[in-house]
Structure 1
Amino acid sequence: MNIDKFYNFFCKTLQKVYTETRELEAIFFLLTTHFLKCDQITVLFKLSQKEKINSFIYKKLKKKLWELKNNRPIQYVIGKTSFFGMDFIVNEKVFIPRPETEELVSWIIQDHKDHNITTYPYTKKNSDQIQIFDIGTGSGCISITLKKKLPQIQHIYAADFSHEILSIARKNATFHNVKIFFKKIDILKNLISIPIKKYPVNIIVSNPPYIRLSEKKLLHPNIFQYEPFQALFVPDEDPLIFYKEILFWIKEKFTGKVCVYFEINQFIHLDIMNFMKKTGFRNIEIRKDIQGFFRMIRAIQYITT
């Protein structure tokens, strides 16, 4: 089949699944660049020339097209996703990173790349005095990106609740050639068991489950059909359950300067902010994402024994 005919077939097959033309085209290029092993410009050239697709490749593309028709996310179909311009391995065991998480990571990098809010200039002498904890790491995209962008920080710890999840994160760390200390921890059961060293500056970041079960109807089917339930949903009666555990853990285990960064549910952002204030956190700032929703919150706290 010629690639232009496949494009038409692709769009016709998925037009009811993805109603926005821009999204449909983005998925087409993600699929074709992956299997044709070329960039988008090359695919566009092939389309303009109406080049034929190798029969073996065409069979692969057609098989993956049916997976897409059944709502399987393109990231799982090709086995990878892009985050901060870098490729990360993903499968159904881990949540697919989103643009708002990139914005959260960008906020952390801007705060700590020099000596911005920490008042600690990052030199070889004192870089050992800063540690980062990524709680609920999933694919490892947050901790790995922070290590790549803040290489002077030596101690970055990442935790999640299963060996299968951590296996994906470790593969990504190896692929990007960074050293992350991974730990199997269930946030709701044994977060307190993470060994904590006393450091002057501590950065805690988390993108925990925060979608209330009643909000499931607002999601695209490819999210709740394929992405891990435990990485998405929280009970309506206690939507802050993960934030509470992390904040109590911070108050109990840490001393010194603590910078807390959370990705949050825009529908309950005031509840999260008020709970942080009630728990004793100060210097709280909440930010909107590029779409104008309150999706990120930061608190800077000095904790003394």
Structure 2
Amino acid sequence: MLAKEYRNNFIKKLTPIYDVLEAESFFYIILEDFHQMKRIDLALNTTFEFSDSEVEKWNSVLEQLVNQIPIQYILGNAHFYGLEFEVNENTLIPRPETEELVEWIIKQNEFSDRIKILDIGTGSGCIAISLAKNLPNAKVFAIDVSKKALETAKRNASKNKVEVTFLLKNILETEDLEQHFDIIVSNPPYVRNLEMVEIKKNVLEFEPHLALFVEDNDALVFYRKISELAQKNLSDNGQLYFEINQYLGSEMIDLLELKNFQNIELRKDIYDNDRMIFGRKV
């Protein structure tokens, strides 16, 4: 079958579920993954055909997309900050907003020497690994409560040729981090159960709830605990960064002020939502 013809059928089948641009983007993501071809390559090769076995492989992916399984889980990888990461049911899919958090940390520290960084709740390792790749003078550590997530993160560090020290630890049960860091960063669970109605099926049914949700009556439980640990285990003038629930920006400012952080800064993401916060230990 001509690839162009299959493309039209592929998009037509997905448009009841996804908008046309998203369905089209799926096609080209798969094209590059399966055939190492970009959009321009197909445009220049109008007679390119899929074999019967290739059509069968494409149809399998198409059916999974119809069932709203995230394309990153179907293909087993996601791109983040210019790097490729293995993702699976044990890890969240990296988001563009989190790239902005990584960018903030890199810009603040690109000329720093011999810094120690801790990423709490690392998941796929995307934050820790991206920082290790772009801050070569940094020594990077990463914590997660999930053994399977850490196994994935270790493979990602190896794939991206960086050294990160991974630690299995439940941060809510941790009283001391046992060493000092110059930077602590975390993108912890922050979606309240009351916000589940806003979550798309492809996230709600397939991404790990352990990494997503917190109880409505204690939505800042991870932030409070990490802030307390940061006061103990950040070096003087150390930096604390969080990705946060967009609805709790003012509450996060209050929390960091209560925990005696200074120079607090709340930033919006590309979608104009309160998404990142910074505080400094002095």
When the two structures are superposed, what TM-score results if normalisation uses the length of structure 1? 0.89
Please tell me whether residue 172 in structure 1 is matched to residue 156 in structure 2.
Answer: yes
Counterpart CA distance in 2 for 1:12 and 1:102 is 32
DSSP-derived class of the 2:188 partner: coil
Q: Which of 152, 157, 170 is 1:186 aligned to?
A: 170
Counterpart CA distance in 2 for 1:277 and 1:193 is 21
Letter in 2 for 1:41: I
Tell me how many residue pairs correspond in the alignment. 282
Letter in 2 for 1:262: F
Counterpart CA distance in 1 for 2:129 and 2:52 is 38
Counterpart CA distance in 1 for 2:122 and 2:13 is 35
Please tell me whether residue 132 in structure 1 is matched to residue 131 in structure 2.
Answer: no
- Tell me the residue number matched to 1:145: 130
Alpha carbons 1:260, 1:300 under 8 Å: kept: yes
Alpha carbons 1:29, 1:43 under 8 Å: kept: no
Q: Post-superposition shift, 1:256?
A: 1.7
Q: Which of 91, 96, 104 is 1:94 aligned to?
A: 91
Q: Which of 144, 150, 162 is 2:146 aligned to?
A: 162
Instruction: List per-residue Cα deviations over 1:170-220 (Å, max 9, x = no partner).
Output: 001001111100000112223x35331x46xx1001111111111111111
DSSP-derived class of the 1:266 partner: coil
Please show how residues 1-305 of structure 1 align to structure 2 within 5 Å: 1-18=1-18, 20-46=19-45, 49-115=46-112, 122=113, 127=114, 130-153=115-138, 155-190=139-174, 192=175, 194-196=177-179, 198=180, 202-302=182-282
Alpha carbons 2:10, 2:62 under 8 Å: kept: yes
Counterpart CA distance in 2 for 1:209 and 1:255 is 25
Q: Post-superposition shift, 1:31?
A: 1.3
Q: Post-superposition shift, 1:300?
A: 1.2
Q: Post-superposition shift, 1:291?
A: 1.5
Counterpart CA distance in 2 for 1:162 and 1:2 is 44
CA, structure 1 residues 58+284, in 2 after alignment: closer, same or farther (shift >3 Å)? same
Q: Structure 1: 5+ residue runs without aligned partners?
A: 116-121
Counterpart CA distance in 2 for 1:189 and 1:57 is 49
Counterpart CA distance in 1 for 2:54 and 2:44 is 18
DSSP-derived class of the 1:195 partner: coil
Alpha carbons 2:177, 2:229 under 8 Å: kept: no
Q: Which piece of structure 1 moves more, 132-141 or 21-30?
A: 21-30
Counterpart CA distance in 2 for 1:214 and 1:104 is 25
Q: Which piece of structure 1 moves more, 57-66 or 33-42?
A: 33-42
Counterpart CA distance in 1 for 2:89 and 2:43 is 30
Alpha carbons 1:258, 1:301 under 8 Å: kept: yes
- Give aligned-pair identity as a percent: 38
Which runs of 4 or more aligned residues in structure 1 lie more than 4 Å from their structure 2 counterparts after TM superposition? none
When the two structures are superposed, what TM-score results if normalisation uses the length of structure 2? 0.96
Alpha carbons 1:33, 1:43 under 8 Å: kept: no
